[in-house]
Amino acid sequence: MMGPSHALSGAAAWLAGSWALDQFAGYHQSPLAISVGAMVCAGGALLPDLDLSGRVTTNQGGATVAHTFGVLSLFVAEVIEKFSLGVYTATRLSHDPKRNNGHRTFTHTLPFAALVGWGTTALCAHFGKWAVVAVVFLMAGMALRGLFEKWAERAGWVIVTLASGGIAWFTAANLPGDRGYPMLGFAAGVGCFVHLMGDIVTSAGVPIAWPIPTGRRMWRMIGIPNVIAVKVGGKVEVLVLRTAFTIISLLAIAGMITPWALHRFAPSTFAGSDH
Ligand SMILES: [Zn+2]
């Protein structure tokens, strides 16, 4: 799938999950925690495609996410692509084809999603607010790039960077540490996982079984058959899937905001004789 669809699917998954937790497990989150979670999950859902490098020197090519912070992120994408190719080459078995590009390899595996989740939580737990600022800054930048693709393109990377900085500062100042920090890591990991699911429905597939070898192959690309696969950037993805993700997100938000707003703005219905 393309960047904006990945970002939307991440936000939708987080909002739907938060709604379900709220509804069935009595796990309530503040509106800030929900928004930050959805944003980090949307950003995390773009992270695996940082392995799609472009041309740093001419600021061209690469995935949506690689342009988040201008040439700098394009350079990071280059490094991640080469690193992924290194992991591929080092672990490939006799039936895995030779490759000269690392796209859809290491960053498209379950261990990578787990690593992102665990790493983010560990960073935040260890370095506290400064790590939170850094994580939210990066994730906000990617989420803005993905969710508001047209705006981000027009605004350019300087505005996107400034906006991300503002969001990061506001979050670090207001998000409580105890629940908030593990939540950031979880949201980033879930985002990566949602990305893998988004790529699995396309015909190219992802090496979801890695590092479990099957038939002398470590990097078997697993996707759904061509006939029913979603065409990358096609009508089904852009019209059907994006609309579905948007509707899911809006329904989940409505489902969570309604009881909260009733409680906040019409407390008498709950508190009885207070007023
Ligand atoms: Zn991908």
Query: Measured between alpha carbons, how far is 15 from 166 in angstroms, rounded to an integer?
Result: 22
Residue 158 CA to ligand 1 centre (angstroms): 25
DSSP state of 53: -
Residue 193: per-residue pLDDT: 97
Rounded mean pLDDT of 176-180?
62
Q: Report the predicted TM-score, pTM, of the whole model to 2 decimal places.
A: 0.87
Q: Output the six-digit token pair for 110.
A: 């379950």
Which residues have beta carbons under 5 A from ligand 1 (an ion)?
48-49, 199
Q: Tell me the two tokens of residue 244.
A: 């579905």
Ligand 1 centroid from CA 236, angstroms: 17
Task: Mark 134-167 as b/e (b = at least 16 C-beta within 10 Å).
Answer: bbbbbbbbbbbbbbbeeebeeeebeebbebbeeb
Name 2's Cβ contacts closer than 8 Å, sequence gap at least 6. Answer: 64, 232, 233, 237
Ligand 1 centroid to Cα of residue 105, in Å, is 9
- Give the span between the Cα atoms of 6 and 9, in whole angstroms: 5
Please give the distance, rounded to the nearest whole angstrom, from the Cα atom of residue 199 to the centre of ligand 1.
6
pLDDT tens-digit readout, 110-167: 999 999 999 999 998 888 888 888 999 999 999 998 899 889 888 888 898 999 999 9
Cα–chain center distance at 104: 15
**Would the pLDDT of 273 be above 50?**
no
Residue 56: what pLDDT? 56
Q: Give residue-wise pLDDT tens across range 49-76.
A: 988 876 555 556 666 677 777 778 888 8
